[in-house]
A and B are shown apart, each in its own frame.
Chain A
Amino acid sequence: MRSARNRELIALVPVALLLTAGFTAVFAQEQTQLDNLSLIYGAYFFAVCLATHLYLRVRLPRADPYLFPLVALLTAFGLVMIYRIDDGLARDQANWFVLGLVLFALTIQLLRDYEVLERYRYTIAAVGLLLLLAPRVPGIGQQVNGAYLGVKIGPIAFQPAEFSKIAIVVFLASYLREHREVLIVGARRVLGVTLPPLKHFGPMLVVWGAAMFMLVFIRDLGSSLMFFAAFLALLYVATARFSFVAIGMAMFLAGAWFFASTVPHVQARVEIWLDPYNEPENAGYQILQSIFAQADGGLFGQGFAQGLITIPGTDTPLLPAAQTDTIYSLIVNELGLFGACGVILIYLLIAARGFKIALLANDGFSKLLATGLTAVFAFQAFVIIGGVTRVIPLTGVTLPFISYGGSSIVANFVLTALLLLVSDRARREADRPGGRGLAMGAT
Chain B
Amino acid sequence: MNRQIVKLFAFFVALFAVLVGFTSYWSVFEADALREEEANSRPLLEQQQIPRGRILTADGEVIARSVPKGTGTALRYVRRYPDGPLYGHPIGYSFVREGDTEFEQFHNDELVGEGSEFSSILDEFLDRDQEGNDVVTNLDSAAQRVALDGLEATGFGSVVAIEPKTGWVRVMASKPSYDPNRIPTELERLNANDLEAPLVDRATQGQYPPGSTFKVVTAAAALESGAIDADTTFAAPSPMTFETKPLANDFYQSFGPIGLATALTNSVNTWFGQLGEKVGNETLFEQMERFGFNSKPPIDIPADALSTSGVFEGEDLLRAGDPVDLARVAIGQERLLVTPLQNAMVAAAIANGGKLMRPQIWSRVVDPDGRVTDSLDPSEYRQAVSEETAEELTIAMEDVVSEGTGTAAAITGVAVAGKTGTAETPGNESCAGVADPNQAWFIGFAPAEDPEIAIAVTVECTEQFGGTAAAPIFRDVAEALLGSGE
Chain A residues within 8 Å of B, Cβ to Cβ: 30, 233, 236-238, 240, 277, 280-281, 284, 288, 291-300, 303, 305, 308-314, 318, 332, 336-337, 340-341, 344, 347-348, 351-352, 355, 358-359, 364, 367-368, 371, 375, 378, 382, 385-386, 389-391, 443
Contact = CB atoms under 8 A, between A and B. Distances in A.
Given A318-B42, A358-B5, A390-B22, A344 B27 contact: no
Given A236-B4, A280-B39, A390-B22, A332 B16 contact: no
A312 B39 contact: no
A382 B6 contact: no
Contacts of B72: 30
Q: Which 9 A-B pairs have the closest CB atoms?
A: A280-B39, A295-B34, A389-B22, A312-B76, A294-B26, A295-B31, A237-B4, A355-B9, A292-B40
A288 B39 contact: yes
25 contacts: A233-B8, A233-B11, A236-B4, A237-B5, A277-B39, A284-B39, A292-B34, A295-B31, A296-B31, A296-B46, A305-B73, A311-B41, A312-B70, A337-B23, A340-B20, A340-B23, A355-B6, A355-B8, A355-B9, A359-B5, A367-B5, A382-B12, A386-B22, A389-B19, A390-B22
Interface of B: 1-9, 11-13, 15-16, 18-20, 22-24, 26-28, 30-31, 34-35, 37-42, 45-46, 48-49, 69-70, 72-76, 124, 127
Nearest to A314: B74
Given A292-B37, A312-B49, A332-B23, A443 B1 contact: yes
A282 B4 CA distance: 44
B46 A237 contact: no
Contacts of A292: 34-35, 37, 39-40, 42
A332 B27 contact: yes
A280 B418 CA distance: 56
A313 B42 contact: no
Contact of A344 (B19, B35, B127): B19
Contacts of A237: 1, 4-5, 8
B256 to A, nearest CB: 73
A300 B35 CA distance: 17
Contact of B23 (A309, A341, A347): A341
Nearest to A234: B8
Contact of B16 (A313, A347, A355, A364): A347
A196 B4 CA distance: 18
Contacts of B39: 277, 280-281, 284, 288, 292
Given A358-B5, A382-B12, A385-B23, 15 more contacts: A236-B4, A236-B7, A292-B34, A295-B35, A296-B35, A296-B46, A312-B74, A312-B75, A318-B45, A340-B27, A355-B9, A386-B18, A386-B19, A389-B22, A391-B18
A352 B10 CA distance: 10
A189 to B, nearest CB: 20
Given A348-B16, A391-B18, A367 B1 contact: yes
Contacts of A340: 20, 23, 27
B279 to A, nearest CB: 56
A351 B34 contact: no
A371 B26 contact: no
A308 B45 contact: yes
B34 to A, nearest CB: 4
A311 B74 CA distance: 8
Given A237-B1, A308-B42, A382-B15, A295 B26 contact: yes
B2 A389 contact: no
A285 to B, nearest CB: 8
A385 B19 contact: yes
Given A237-B1, A295-B30, A312 B73 contact: yes
- Summarize A's interface: helix, strand, loop or mixed: helix
Contacts of A284: 39
Contacts of A385: 19, 23
B70 A336 contact: no
A308 B72 CA distance: 12
B61 to A, nearest CB: 28
A348 B76 contact: no
B8 A313 contact: no
A383 to B, nearest CB: 10
A240 B74 CA distance: 56
Contacts of B24: 337
Contacts of B3: 240
A300 B22 CA distance: 16
A341 B16 CA distance: 9
B8 A389 contact: no
A30 B1 CA distance: 52
B5 A291 contact: no
Of the listed residues B7, B11, B34, B70, the one surrounded by the most CB atoms of chain A closer than 10 A to its CB is B34
A237 B3 CA distance: 8
A292 B35 CA distance: 7
B121 to A, nearest CB: 10
A299 B28 contact: yes
A288 B41 CA distance: 11
Point out which of A292, A298, A300, A340 has the most chain B C-beta atoms below 10 A from its C-beta.
A292
Nearest to B73: A312
B16 A337 contact: no
Nearest to A300: B124
A159 B135 CA distance: 56
A348 B23 contact: no
Contact of A30 (B4, B11, B37, B73): B73
A143 B127 CA distance: 44
Nearest to B35: A295
Nearest to B24: A337
Contacts of B23: 294, 332, 337, 340-341, 344, 385, 389
Contacts of B8: 233, 236-237, 355, 371, 375
Contact of A389 (B1, B26, B31, B49): B26
A348 B13 contact: yes
Contacts of A308: 42, 45-46, 73
Contacts of A291: 26, 34
Contacts of A341: 20, 23
Contact of A313 (B22, B34, B37, B76): B76
A313 B74 contact: yes
A375 B45 CA distance: 40
A364 B1 contact: yes
Query: Which of B7, B20, B30, B73 has the largest count of A CB atoms less than 10 A from its CB?
Result: B73
A318 B31 CA distance: 17
Nearest to B19: A385
Contacts of B22: 386, 389-391
Contacts of A443: 1-2
